[in-house]
Structure 1
Amino acid sequence: MSYCTVKSELFVSYETKQINWFVFQRELMPRILCLSISHKKASVRVLESFTLKDAYSSLQQLKTSGAEECAIIQTCHRVELFAVGSEIGHNELKKFLISSSGSHYPIELYEEFYEGEDAIRHLFYLASGLESIILGENEVLHQVEESLRFAENAGCIGKILRTIFRGAINAGRMVRRKTSISKGSVSLGNIVMKVITCELGTLNGKKLVIIGAGKMGSLIAKSIPRKDPLTIFIANRTYSRAEKLAAEVGGKALHFENMKEAIKGADAVICATSSPHLILKPEDLQGIDAGRKTLIVDVSNPRGVDERIKSLSNVKFVDLDQITRIARENMKNRENAAINAREILEPSIERLMERLCTLDRKKKLEEMMRWAEDKRKNALLVALRKGKFSEEQAKVLDEFSYAFMRDILIPLFGGVSGRDS
């Protein structure tokens, strides 16, 4: 059969002569496979080695290597192959990924393999943000959508994977709508900007000074929303780095010695350095207008702002501990939402499993009828040889056995979907 083999001994108990509906239903389901290399086991370097340089050609090659349908999900955090077919298995997917990527890393140390319902559940979890580095992040849902479109354009998607991917995409949207899994920032850069926006009320027309153009300074600068017109100053001891980051975010670079002058007119100052020395002290803020309040946020490690700044009446101070506390609270909320998300997804997964079992039902029934007809004819010939039957009796036995076979098989296929054939 095209996707699966249904054998009578798998779903009929010889002791009770009863149909095992669960096994029968699962045996009707197409063979669905997923090979995954992701951040859960692989470093960035290992992931890069398994990246498929020409995804379009790789899909075409996978389709000609035994997959009746196939799709690739490839991001900076994962490389995943999805395939449907009876002529391809776990080993074939591994060999394909190794040869197509050219990776020399032992794939057995980094791979995860899913089949059948587990492969479907994995894709549903993936689209819902349950498999992401940042739990509940939204970008992965767009990546799953794009992977479906890409595979469709390559002519590699059929009825099975289209049903699974669309089901996962719809489930991902539902989870985000019904739970708080994507609510509350957990990225330090986003949290800093949320705090600043909350304290200032708006970013429209404001002036921000970011001290430090390293990893954290860049993360915060790139988290600034672009919808509001505002002025961004980037100060760094190495001026070229300040220039580079300023160019990326539409800001202005500052020489480090000019930083204190810029702070006097700033609405918010973010200190994001790795200097072993304090960058800002109370005396550095003496020129700030007493009639306005300046927000100072210190995310440096070690601390870059003297805590005595808290005593200044015209300064609002937020330190790294407060930012981290918000991140942990938000992550805890997302973890609780993830538990709820898994419960929400199960009925959707079960419904999709039932739907897959009834896809091409007529075709499967015809395949089963042909298989059963061969068995019936052989059994009838054996029975007729064992006794003396007239032509009329043989005809009655033939018609009876055929009608019996139909009466057994057709309701089975109708029963799976709950509709008549």
Structure 2
Amino acid sequence: MHIIAVGLNYRTAPVEIREKFAFAKDELPDALRKLKETKSILECVVVGTCNRTEIYAVVDRMYPCGHYIRDFIEKWFGVSRREFNHHLYVKEDEDAIRHLFRVTGGLDSMIIGETQILGQVRDAFLLAQENGATGILFNTLFKQAITFAKRAHSETTIGETPVSVSYAAVELGKRIFGSFAGKTVLIIGAGKMSELTAKHLHANGAAEVIVANRSYGRASDLAEKFQGRATTFDCLLDGLKEADIVISSTGASGYVLKREQVESVLQGRKSRPLFMIDIAVPRDLDPAISELSNVFLYDIDDLQSIVATNLEERKREAVKIDAMIGQEIDAYNTWYRTLGVSPVISALQKKGNQIHQETMDSLLKKLPDLDEREIKVIRKLTKSIVNQMMRDPILRIKEMAAERKGDEALALFTDLFALEALLEEEEAGESAKPAAGAGTPAAAAETKRPAFGLTLKEALAGS
């Protein structure tokens, strides 16, 4: 068996290409069904966001399946593969698994360390599971990747440092006010950056938004988005008297607010702190304003500097998460290597039960005068002997199967206890059952049979 990831993202394809390959939400169940019906695909999950479209699949053969998935993409979206082939990336086996962990952990995102992708991967997996598109491998792998991403974000600070100007402004404000509850925001101008910053402040609890602009109409349009109120530059100082937070982004060629104007307003504010963010270039707010008591002024360079510093911090935390991913892959390897133990243990237990039953039958023929109580005692004691004899071998083979040469240990174990016939009988019994979908016992047996003791990469590559 192999694991493969095929996709395109913001690094490999511009938005005008990515939008051609976006799965409509209501069409995903049908897409998963079509994928699952594709030759050689045993399990599949589709992850689709504005920045990526990725197909993860468990396949029985690697190279033909790359062609089959491209063929599916071509037919589903009605786009010739000549238009998208050079945008696609294909990751195989352990590289595909590492990629999934990086995606889920936010390390492959445009904004490194973001957490939205975690929910998107989780939803994609649950949808595939609900539609019968996953089985033993992906049910384990995706659950592990989701759990890991949550742990990675809780054990590192990758998500705690803002990496956008608007978020940086909000974080700065928290340092000054602690909470934005009950605070008033004054927006000077109606620029996009001002709007985005105000949106984050409002979402973090700011109570009221005042928009001041040369054009009252534009001020009114923006104010409506925050259930706020509009004003013009003529009444700017009145708004400044009420404000706790000022965001300025206009196209003015000179200062919109000078030190003297702010100073005159401060006299009636009773020492309330004033947090001012100047996002305009050229600047709207006189730099001398920062000299005033209880006024905290930041310009675009201050915020960009914070963003750059925080981005570097996220990159350092990402290195830690990358190391954690290596440990997760080792854990998945161990789980995968032990998949082949179950049928061997089952065969040993079955053989032990057969020997016990044959012994009891022989005993009862030789001692026909035993009463029911005596038979029950003998049966219990002999069964206990068989179980005790099997206990240590079972524990040891579980340990040995998780080691590097687990396949050799399983083969030797099978040979020593002469379990070949029972294993063949079990395999024949599974083959005789009706075709089973992913996630059923038959599908699980089919998946785990080649995995005897191999590392994940060896097991996947060797099928």
- TM-score, length-scaled by structure 2: 0.69
Counterpart in the other structure of 2:395: none
Counterpart in the other structure of 1:254: 231
Provide structure 2 residue ranges, at least 5 long, that are not aligned to the other structure.
347-410, 421-449, 456-463
Counterpart in the other structure of 1:299: 279
Aligned-residue offset at 1:281: 2.2
**102-111 or 60-69, which moves further after superposition?**
102-111
Asked if 1:195 is matched to 2:185, the reply is no
Partner AA of 1:60 in structure 2: R
Asked if 1:129 is matched to 2:106, the reply is yes
Aligned-residue offset at 1:207: 1.1
Asked if 1:407 is matched to 2:378, the reply is no
Higher relative CO (CA 8 A, sep ≥ 6), structure 1 or 2?
A: 2
**49-58 or 76-85, which moves further after superposition?**
49-58
Aligned-residue offset at 1:240: 4.4
**49-58 or 139-148, which moves further after superposition?**
49-58
Partner AA of 1:333 in structure 2: E
Matches within 5 A, 1:42-81: 42-53=13-24, 54-66=27-39, 67-81=41-55
Partner AA of 1:407 in structure 2: D
Counterpart in the other structure of 2:11: 40
Matches within 5 A, 1:159-308: 159-224=136-201, 226=203, 228=205, 230-290=207-267, 291-292=270-271, 293-308=273-288
SS in 1 for 2:285: coil
SS in 1 for 2:194: helix
Asked if 1:101 is matched to 2:101, the reply is no
Query: Aligned-residue CA RMSD in angstroms?
Result: 3.0
SS in 1 for 2:303: helix
SS in 2 for 1:163: helix
Aligned-residue offset at 1:266: 1.0
Conserved? CA contact 2:337–2:452, under 8 Å: no
SS in 1 for 2:89: strand
Aligned-residue offset at 1:103: 4.3
Change (3 A) 1:91 1:298: same
Provide structure 1 residue ranges, at least 5 long, that are not aligned to the other structure.
1-29, 367-402
Richer in helix (by share): 2
The total of aligned residue pairs comes to 352
Counterpart in the other structure of 1:8: none
Aligned-residue offset at 1:119: 0.7
**35-44 or 101-110, which moves further after superposition?**
101-110
Take 2:323 and 2:30, find their aligned partners in 1: how far apart are those partners? 38
Conserved? CA contact 1:361–1:413, under 8 Å: no
Q: Percent identity?
A: 29
Asked if 1:84 is matched to 2:58, the reply is yes
Take 1:196 and 1:404, find their aligned partners in 2: how far apart are those partners? 67
Aligned-residue offset at 1:120: 0.5
Asked if 1:344 is matched to 2:324, the reply is yes
Counterpart in the other structure of 1:385: none
Take 1:268 and 1:350, find their aligned partners in 2: how far apart are those partners? 50
Change (3 A) 1:322 1:166: same
SS in 1 for 2:335: helix
- TM-score, length-scaled by structure 1: 0.75
Take 1:341 and 1:334, find their aligned partners in 2: how far apart are those partners? 10
